[in-house]
């Protein structure tokens, strides 16, 4: 019996926003919809609540979390609360892309958000575009009757450490099935579907830490600076920043994921013949997810088409991985996405799922 605020993705119960804000004020964890993926949210300035995020996810406590801020002033007051110096290029990126799927790593203001930042002297800030997330953040910033202001919510993706991020409220419930009391605010399926683009703004030049829906080209164009990669920083002798989303193996379903081009995929299917598995078990053994139309005569193969539009592919990516996993296949063969900037986010998630 979960405290499930069901919305059908359309209309929330009238008191859902207030109830969620109240739970966050009380130091509880909440499953929160954003336009990218669902977050596991807590008051970012409550160290105990933040510690319970790490515990629930099974995430090492030195892996920093993203703090989400309200949008009514373009996110500026939230940024002023958590961040120290804000470089001009970061300011330009906020004006261009907030509210939206872009996280900026900024120097952290002394004495603020240390637990959320995992002890780092920087902090990741994002102003999400999802109206439900924004309604909660606004309610937290406008307290009634003497309550303190809550400046932001720390929210990593609401999945167990290393697993596929959730893009529906149901996904969050299945990740935390052992916590039936977890409040999950249902804001419908996430529009973007993969996590925000992360730009480190603490190193003089913008550094791309995680590709997402906002491409490196768009970021470079908006701030008039070209992006540096962590590898280039490394080559210059600067220590590359650590981000758990940038660990090689992440976003992993239970089945083994393998990336191949369309030709190799078709050849692999042809080699299987008609029987994948000699033992006649009823289910599917291999799932294939490709943009190209493929053929197989094997009965135990689940063929599924990947959308040709990268934004649509991102939107459904994690849902499809979960669906294919639920077939209990041993292998998921995926056609490698095109090597173009628009596919960077999807390609990155698939490469990590395959690692």
DSSP lists the bridge partners of residue 278 as none
Is 167 among the residues that bind Mg ion (CB under 5 A)?
no
Least distance (Å) between residue 13 CB and ligand TXA: 22
- The answer on whether 36 is annotated among ligand-binding residues is yes
Q: Which of 174, 170, 220 is nearest to 190 (CA)?
A: 170
Task: Tell me whether residue 184 or residue 301 sits nearer to ligand TXA (CB atom).
Answer: 184
Shorter beta-carbon distance to ligand TXA: residue 39 or 75: 39
Of the candidate spans 19-27, 149-157, 207-215, 340-348, the one that interacts with Mg ion by CB under 5 A turns out to be 149-157
Phi-psi bin for 56: left (phi > 0), alpha (psi -120 to 50), beta? alpha
Question: Cβ-count burial of 297 within 10 angstroms (0-12 exposed, 13-18 middle, 19+ buried)?
Answer: exposed
Structure tokens at 129: 């575009």
> Closest Cα partner for 7 from 23, 31, 27?
31
Q: Is the peptide bond before 99 cis (omega within 30 degrees of 0)?
A: yes
Q: At what angle do helices 131-141 and 16-25 cross, to 10 degrees?
A: 50
59 is in an annotated binding site: yes
Q: State the nearest-atom distance from the C-beta of 137 to ligand TXA, in Å.
A: 12
Choose the contact partner of 67 out of ligand TXA, Mg ion, none; CB within 5 to 8 A by kind: none
As measured in angstroms, the least distance from the Cβ of 83 to ligand TXA is 10
Contacts of 270 (CB under 8 A, 6+ apart): none
Question: Among Mg ion, ligand TXA, none, what does residue 66 contact (CB within 5–8 Å per kind)?
Answer: ligand TXA
Please tell me whether residue 157 binds Mg ion under the rule CB under 5 A.
yes
> Does position 46 bind Mg ion by CB under 5 A?
no
**What is the separation, in whole angstroms, between the first and last Cα of the chain?**
36
Tokens of 304: 């599924």
Which are the contacts of 263, defined by CB distance < 8 A and separation ≥ 6? none
Task: Give the nearest distance from C-beta 90 to Mg ion in angstroms.
Answer: 22
Question: How far apart are alpha carbons 251 and 50 in whole angstroms?
Answer: 22
To the question of whether residue 126 is assigned a binding role by annotation, the answer is yes
SS (H, E, C) 254-274: CCEEEEECHHHHHHHHHHHCC
Minimum Å distance from CB 98 to ligand TXA?
A: 12
Contacted by 353, from ligand TXA, Mg ion, none: CB < 5 to 8 Å by type: none
User: Which CB atom, from 194 or from 342, has the smaller least distance to ligand TXA?
Assistant: 194
Tell me the torsion sign for CA atoms 335, 339, 343, 348: positive
Question: Where does this chain bind ligand TXA (CB under 6 A)?
Answer: 34, 36-37, 39, 63-66, 101, 103, 105, 117, 120, 122-124, 126, 128, 155-157, 195-196, 198, 209, 241, 243-246
CA gap 106, 323 in Å, rounded: 37
Size of the site for Mg ion (CB under 5 A): 1
Task: For residue 163, say whether it is annotated as part of any ligand binding site.
Answer: no
Residue 1 or 239 with smaller CB distance to ligand TXA: 239
The residue among 46 and 167 lying less far from ligand TXA, judged by its C-beta, is 167
Q: Determine contact, residues 207/215, Cβ cutoff 8 Å.
A: no
Residue 297 known to bind ligand: no
Residue 65 touches which of ligand TXA, Mg ion, none (CB < 5 to 8 A by kind)? ligand TXA
Q: Which is nearer to Mg ion, 164 or 185 (CB)?
A: 164
The stretch near Mg ion (CB under 5 A) out of 154-162, 168-176, 260-268, 281-289 is 154-162
Is the Cβ of residue 196 or residue 266 nearer to ligand TXA in the bound state?
196
Q: Would you tell me the crossing angle of helices 310-326 and 344-354 to the nearest 10 degrees? A: 20
Name the residues that contact Mg ion, by CB under 5 A: 157
Q: Which residues are annotated as a binding site?
A: 36, 59, 68, 126, 155, 157, 165, 196, 210, 251
């Amino acid at each position: 019996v979960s405290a499930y605020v069901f919305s059908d993705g359309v209309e929330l119960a009238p008191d859902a926003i207030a109830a969620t804000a109240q739970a966050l004020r009380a130091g509880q964890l909440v499953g929160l919809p954003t336009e990218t993926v669902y977050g596991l949210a807590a008051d970012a300035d409550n160290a105990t609540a933040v510690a319970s995020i790490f515990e629930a996810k099974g995430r090492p406590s030195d892996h920093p979390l993203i703090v989400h801020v309200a949008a009514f002033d373009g996110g500026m007051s939230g940024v002023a609360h958590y961040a120290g110096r804000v470089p001009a290029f970061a300011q330009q990126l906020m004006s261009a892309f907030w509210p939206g799927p872009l996280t900026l790593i900024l120097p952290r203001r002394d004495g603020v958000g240390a637990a959320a930042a995992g002890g780092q002297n920087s902090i990741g800030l994002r102003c999400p575009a999802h109206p439900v997330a924004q309604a909660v953040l606004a309610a937290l910033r406008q307290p009634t009757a003497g309550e303190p202001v809550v400046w932001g919510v720390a929210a990593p993706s609401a999945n167990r450490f290393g697993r596929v991020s959730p893009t529906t409220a149901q996904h969050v419930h299945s990740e935390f099935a052992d916590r039936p009391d977890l409040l999950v605010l249902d804001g419908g399926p996430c529009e973007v579907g993969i996590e925000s683009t992360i730009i480190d703004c603490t190193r003089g030049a913008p550094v791309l830490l995680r590709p997402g829906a906002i491409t490196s080209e768009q970021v470079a164009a908006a701030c008039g600076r070209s992006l540096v990669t962590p590898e280039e920083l490394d080559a210059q002798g600067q220590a590359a920043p650590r981000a758990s989303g940038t660990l090689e193996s992440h976003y992993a379903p239970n089945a083994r994921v393998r990336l191949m081009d369309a030709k190799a995929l078709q050849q692999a299917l042809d080699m299987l013949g008609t029987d994948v598995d000699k033992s006649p078990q009823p289910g599917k053994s291999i799932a294939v997810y490709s943009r190209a139309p493929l053929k197989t005569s094997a009965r135990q193969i689940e063929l599924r088409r990947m959308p040709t539009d990268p934004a649509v592919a991102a939107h459904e990516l994690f849902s499809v991985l979960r669906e294919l996993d639920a077939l209990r296949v041993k292998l998921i063969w995926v056609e490698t996405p095109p090597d173009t900037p628009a596919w960077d986010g999807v390609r990155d998630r698939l490469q990590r799922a395959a690692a």
